[in-house]
Amino acid sequence: MGHCQIPGDFLSWLMSELAEVEFYRKQWGRGLQRKILAVQLNAAKKIFRGTDAAALQKTLRGSTLLGSEAHGKQMLFRFSKGGWLGIHLGMTGKLRIEPAAVVALKHDHLVLRQSRHSLVFSDPRQFGRILFHRGEDQPPWWRDRPAEVLSRAFTPMLMEQFLTRHGRAPIKAVLLLQSGFPGIGNWMADEILWQSKIHPGRPAGKLGSAETKKLHAKIQSVSVFCLPLLLAFNPSNNHFSQFLSHNRLLQAISTERLRLRL
């Protein structure tokens, strides 16, 4: 099988999935157990909508980054002094680590400065979101999140109940609902339905019992496939796209399914 050219928009779809969140969460890992000396932000930016930016700035300044976790397409960073920072990447959001004295760029909307590094969140199109909470316990908006698709709580029965509640909607649209399938994005939904042999336009409530069981299994198997594949590579590295072009599964998608879709 010859090599194929992976379209740039395909890579964008692919990296908008579960693994993107985990990749960017780890970018701030070098800042763990280090104090935040200064907080630079622009409270007028859309990503801070509904957030008390002044309280965020006051609490995080002088605090220490203690840990982080990801759920679906969201991240939660825990700080001393009771600070909790929630980040949703949206379509163009990215986390990166820079030298301590780095000059913030146009789209760098949040910069947490430490003695050795700066932890930066950038989002050119501002479809992402920054949330803040102060308290001993996790924020309510984090505690109330749905079951992850790779967790034991994500059972076939739970999934079937969710499909029933959205029974009239096309199954592809339902798979993209983060309230039921956190972290599933466009490419993963396409691959799941392709492997399940279910048309994207089928009403979610019209799937048979055997189809529902197969769909549940494929959601988990495709998710297991994606995470190690993408976490092994920096998406900005040329080796990443070279690896994709040699992978038979992704090669088939790029040559056939993308041709049919675009």
Q: Which domains does the chain have, with CATH numbers?
A: 32-143 (3.20.190.10), 156-261 (1.10.8.50)
Residue 255 banded pLDDT, cuts 50, 70, 90 = very low
Model confidence over 45-57: pLDDT tens digits? 999 999 999 999 9
Q: How far apart are CA 174 and CA 168, in angstroms?
A: 10
pLDDT at 21: 82
Q: Other CB atoms closer than 10 Å to residue 18's CB: what's the count?
A: 25
pLDDT at 232: 53
pLDDT at 18: 63
pLDDT at 142: 87
Contacts of 80 (CB under 8 A, 6+ apart): 63, 64, 66
Span 138-153, average pLDDT: 86
Model confidence over 6-52: pLDDT tens digits? 334 444 444 445 667 888 899 999 999 999 999 999 899 999 999 99
- Supply the DSSP string of 176-211, one letter for each residue: T-TTTSTT--HHHHHHHHHHHT--TTSBGGG--HHH
pLDDT at 262: 35
Q: What is the mean pLDDT of the chain?
A: 83
Model confidence over 65-79: pLDDT tens digits? 999 998 877 899 999
Evaluate if pTM is beyond 0.75: no
pLDDT at 247: 52
pLDDT of 236 above 70? no
Find the angle CA(152)-CA(158)-CA(162) to the nearest 5 degrees: 140
pLDDT at 8: 41
Residue 111 banded pLDDT, cuts 50, 70, 90 = very high
Contacts of 159 (CB under 8 A, 6+ apart): 180, 212, 215, 216, 219
pLDDT of 90 above 60? yes
pLDDT of 202 above 60? yes
- Which amino acid type is present at position 132? F
